[in-house]
Amino acid sequence: MFESLQDNLQSALKSLRGKGKLTEGNMRDGLGLVEQSLLDADVSYEVVRDFMAEVSEQALGQKVLQSLDPSQQLIGIVNQSLINVLGPVDPSLHLREDVTIIMLCGLQGSGKTTTCGKLARLIAQEGKQAMLCAADLQRPAAVEQLHVIGEQVGVRVYSEEGAKDPVKVCQNAVRQARQDSIDVLILDTAGRLAIDEELMDQLRTIDNRVGPHQAYLVVDGMTGQDAVNSAGAFNEALELDGVIMTKMDGDARGGALLSVKHVTGVPVKFIGTGERFDALEPFYPDRLAGRILGMGDVLTMVDIAQREFDQKQLAETEARLKEGEFTLEDFRTQLVQLSKPGLMKKMMGLMPGMGDLNGMMGEIDEKELQQVSGIIDSMTPEERRNPTKTVDQSRRQRIAAGAGVEPSAVNGLIKQFDGMATLMKQMAGKGMRDRMQMVDELQKSGLMNPGAKLNKAKQSTGKRLSPKEKEKQKKLRDRELRRRKRVDRTGQPKS
């Protein structure tokens, strides 16, 4: 998100570092690069003008020019100015004791119906019960799509077969929600290919007769300043409570997000950062400003970790680590949790100073994970607890046969486990800052992508086996399968 803007802004600020003393001349040159970066990101000219006026007024003051580290102070000024442009924003939904009615509106193609599901999932994570209302009666298959989404995220969908009046559908949905003690009702209203009076009249009617407590506009962040214009037009008709900006994980330059609050007065409440239903984040201006300036976003990283990882499992692993215990089972558990698509790259991108490593990050492939699991499953309980001391050459041959890999792959996994175990034990009990520094070591060691070395080992030993060698491998594999069946029945290996 915002890769181009991040790179350009950081390059502009870096141009001021390393200078013995910042003068008004070189400061103006640096600020000119900042201004160009914002314009290239499709930020509204009005926003850029006001932003640069605020930054320049502070940056060209005597306090900055005489500061011991003026470049760092300038970063602080730009950071605070970004926060001022983006906020203030209250990301909470302000749920009522009775059913809270939220109306989502927007143009066709903005991702409104999918966002209904994402928002419902986010509400469910807070322990509240949500229900969706299919009030888009104009777009073909819109009602059916919402039912599919509701099933996928595990929430109910209210609809009326053959209905023609979206206002009555919404009114009946409100009665049903109150009857069933639903906490939040989300209305999925109709959209258009462009803003027209018919669309606005329908939305005004729903707003007046149903009385939603909050109205959010869903806009496509990739449409640039058109998204800002849409927000302005919808706000004049409905008095919006906020904007949900979607598709911020693609090629969006970020100009709309930086412009919408300043131009329309309507805050961005949520941002969509992917196609999955968990890819909707509450919007925090200070966190986003930190991301843009390469300062990281540790708070969002913690939020993601708490949401994506099994907290009970993490607590148990942490307790064992403090006792100096880290097994191959723990190693596999960590890999499974990190193997979710895009998770590792996203987490690294939120760490301060780790953005440059993002391009180096590989995802953990499902086949690689199966290969690692196969090797671990082929070991005895004792071998999993302490592979370094127990797995000798003959055992390595047996494990490789059971997993259907070359012995070198087993050896490679054990070496990676040793490095990971050392770092994990060192991390136990340390603070977030120390852990992030150690993650850097982990990345440089190549342990972030365990399948890579296994594949390399497999490729390097990819010679063809003779029929006699194949038969030998088959016998070893069959013997290993029989041994594993005995272990499963008794819990202990038999000789």
**Given this model, what pLDDT does residue 36 score?**
85
| H helix runs in 180-327, sequence order | 197-210, 225-238, 255-264, 285-292, 298-308, 311-322
**Given this model, what pLDDT does residue 300 score?**
53
DSSP class of residue 40 equals: H
398 near 480, Cβ under 8 Å? yes
In this structure, how many other beta carbons lie within 10 angstroms of the beta carbon of residue 390?
13
CATH 3.40.50.300 is right for the domain spanning 100-293: yes
Assign a CATH topology to domain 3-86: Four Helix Bundle (Hemerythrin (Met), subunit A) (1.20.120)
301: left (phi over 0), alpha (psi -120 to 50) or beta: alpha
DSSP class of residue 163 equals: -
**Given this model, what pLDDT does residue 461 score?**
43
Q: Can you give the residue ranges of every domain in the chain?
A: 3-86, 100-293, 307-490
| Alpha-carbon span 89 to 268, nearest angstrom | 7
Direct distance between the N- and C-terminal alpha carbons of the chain, in angstroms, rounded to an integer: 56
**Given this model, what pLDDT does residue 189 score?**
93
362: left (phi over 0), alpha (psi -120 to 50) or beta: beta
Per-residue pLDDT of the chain in tens (495 residues, 90 and over written 9)? 566 677 777 777 777 766 656 677 777 777 888 888 888 888 888 888 888 888 888 877 766 666 656 667 777 788 888 888 888 888 788 888 889 999 999 988 888 999 999 999 999 988 899 999 999 998 888 999 999 999 999 999 999 988 899 999 999 999 999 999 999 999 999 988 888 888 889 999 999 999 999 999 999 888 878 888 888 888 888 889 999 988 887 655 677 888 888 888 888 999 888 888 888 988 888 878 877 776 544 445 445 555 555 556 556 666 666 666 778 877 777 666 655 555 555 555 554 444 444 444 444 555 777 788 889 889 998 898 888 889 998 999 999 998 888 888 888 888 888 877 776 666 655 554 555 555 555 544 554 444 444 444 444 444 455 666 667 766 766 776 666 555 544 444 444
**Given this model, what pLDDT does residue 174 score?**
96
DSSP for 355-372, written as a single string: GGGGGG-----HHHHHHH
Q: What number does CATH give the domain 307-490?
A: 1.10.260.30
**Given this model, what pLDDT does residue 105 score?**
93
